[in-house]
Amino acid sequence: MILIADAGGTSVKWRMISANGEVLQAVTEGYNAYAHKVDKLRSSIQHMQTLLSLPHLKKVCFYGAGVSSDLNTLLVHTELEKLVGADDYEIGHDLMAAARSLLGAEPGIACILGTGSNSCYYDGENILENLPSLGYMIGDEGSGNALGKKLLRAYFRSNLPEDLKVKFEKRFHITRDELLKRVYSDLAGPGFLAGFTKFLFHHMKHPYVYQLIYEEFSMFFAEIIAKYPKSREHTVNFCGGIAFYYANILRQAGTDQGFVVRTIVEDPIAGLTLYHQNKDL
């Protein structure tokens, strides 16, 4: 039996794979190693144990947001050893989860476009290059919070077309002071900004909204993907809600710059399950 976890700030998705290939699943409260204390991970594991009857496991594979530093990796490893019996533990970060899910054993470029963004060149086994995302204050091109910032800038600087401005004000009642407080004083600032993408999604066919999204994705390809050597000789693959729900615009932006955009999925857990079925069973 193998237990797989894909952990993000919103939820932890678990899959347990038996020797005969049967897959059981559970979803528990989220955990981000940079944003949350380890108690939150402990609670999530204990909740999972009430949903799945765990035997002694051959292997636990845990991938998580923020699980990239040695300290955070050790914290997760220690907590799993305390609570989940297994012969082997493999701890990785969410970018490795994306690469393995999207590419398996093939080389290529794997990207995450969700609340934030990240990318890497993966050789089919290891991540060889990773252009830093720099977070929501400086980077995160193509992400939900980047799109949210573009929309808010357009609104507060009176650049939204009148029909969109009326709809925006009908849906949101936000002042400049409230905006600044939520972004700079609230730990959930990136999620707050990304929440405005729902408005963009509902008006995606509006020429102004389409162009706003297209330009942001174009910047992601030009400033991030193009920096990887031979990036136009490999496929570019995506997971995350922003990539998934704006897939048509994302593909167009990539194609227009000469990239081959292949797989786009909302969530990496299905691909991770297949990867570990092939590799570890």
Token reading at 164? 């969109």
CB 12 within 8 A of CB 43: no
Burial of residue 95 (CB within 10 Å: 0-12, 13-18, 19+) is: buried
Closest CA to 129 of 116, 111, 150, 156: 111
Taking only the tens place, the pLDDT of each residue in 236-264 is 999 999 999 999 999 999 999 999 999 99
For residue 187, pLDDT over 70 is answered with: no
Q: Which CATH architecture has domain 107-267?
A: 2-Layer Sandwich (3.30)
pLDDT of residue 217: 98
Region of residue 180 (left: phi > 0; alpha: psi -120 to 50; beta: else): alpha
Coil, helix or strand for 253? helix
Kindly list the domain boundaries of the chain, sorted by start residue. 2-87, 107-267
| CA-based nearest residue to 250, from 101, 174, 147 | 147
The domain made up of 2-87 has a fold known as Nucleotidyltransferase; domain 5 (3.30.420)
The sheet that has 127-129: what strands, in order across it?
A: 127-129, 117-122, 108-113, 235-239, 260-265
Same fold, 2-87 and 107-267: yes
- 208 contact partners, CB below 8 Å, separation of at least 6: 160, 161, 164
- pLDDT band for position 189 (cuts 50, 70, 90): low
Distance of alpha carbon 177 from alpha carbon 262, whole angstroms: 42
Which one, of 184, 214, 182, 209, lies nearest residue 198 by Cα?
A: 209
Rounded CA separation 97/108 (Å): 14
Over residues 93-152, the pLDDT tens digits come to 999 999 999 999 999 999 999 888 999 999 999 999 999 876 666 668 999 999 999 999
Quote the strand ranges of the chain, DSSP E: 2-7, 11-17, 23-29, 59-64, 89-93, 108-113, 117-122, 127-129, 235-239, 260-265
Residue 57, φ and ψ in degrees, nearest 5: -100, 150
Dmax over CA atoms of the chain, in Å, equals: 62
Q: Using alpha carbons only, give the angle 99, 131, 187 rounded to the nearest 5 degrees.
A: 90
Look at the pTM and tell me if it is higher than 0.85.
yes
Per-residue pLDDT tens over the stretch 139-170? 689 999 999 999 999 999 999 999 999 999 99
Strand blocks (E) in 21-99: 23-29, 59-64, 89-93
